Amino acid sequence: MEDKVKLLLERIHLNPDNYSFFEHAHLEKIIINRQSGHWQVLLTLPEFLPVTIYEEIEQNKTQLAEHIDFQYLVENGDLTILLTYYPYFLQQLQQQDKIKLTTIYSENLHLQDQRLVLQAANKIEQLRLEEIKP
């Protein structure tokens, strides 16, 4: 593991048992906006992280900086792993009060032509989803 990656993981207090997921990771760069105090960390990974590791990073990242975002460049990602992220993101949207119920969305995600597709059941759901998409 790169020394810079290990230091980053230590600084965010990631469980050392999870370091193996970063064995072949590469820290591309850290961009710090001195005016806003916002950090952007860009990591290259050979494959997608398990959602539990992603969650741990999201929970711990403010140990490093108050305003920080991690971006991942994944070299050989299996998109089916991203389906495991879906319940986590639904929960986050619900906690941010962007959606009220997660059950109407929980069954409507699938892979199609190497893309994640979320089907809205009706026009109102479609408009709501368009409001919250990045």
Tell me the two tokens of residue 104. Answer: 């109407």
Q: In the Cβ-directed half-sphere of 103, how many Cα atoms lie within 13 Å? A: 0
85-112 per-position pLDDT tens digit: 877 777 777 777 766 655 556 666 666 7
Phi-psi region of 46 (alpha: psi -120 to 50; beta: other; left: phi over 0): alpha
Specify the residue for token string 């809205």.
Answer: 120
28-85 per-position pLDDT tens digit: 999 999 999 999 999 999 999 999 999 999 999 998 889 999 999 999 877 778 778 8
In this structure, of 10-14, 73-77, 113-117, the range with the lowest mean pLDDT score is: 113-117
Q: In the Cβ-directed half-sphere of 101, how many Cα atoms lie within 13 Å? A: 5
pLDDT score at 86:
77
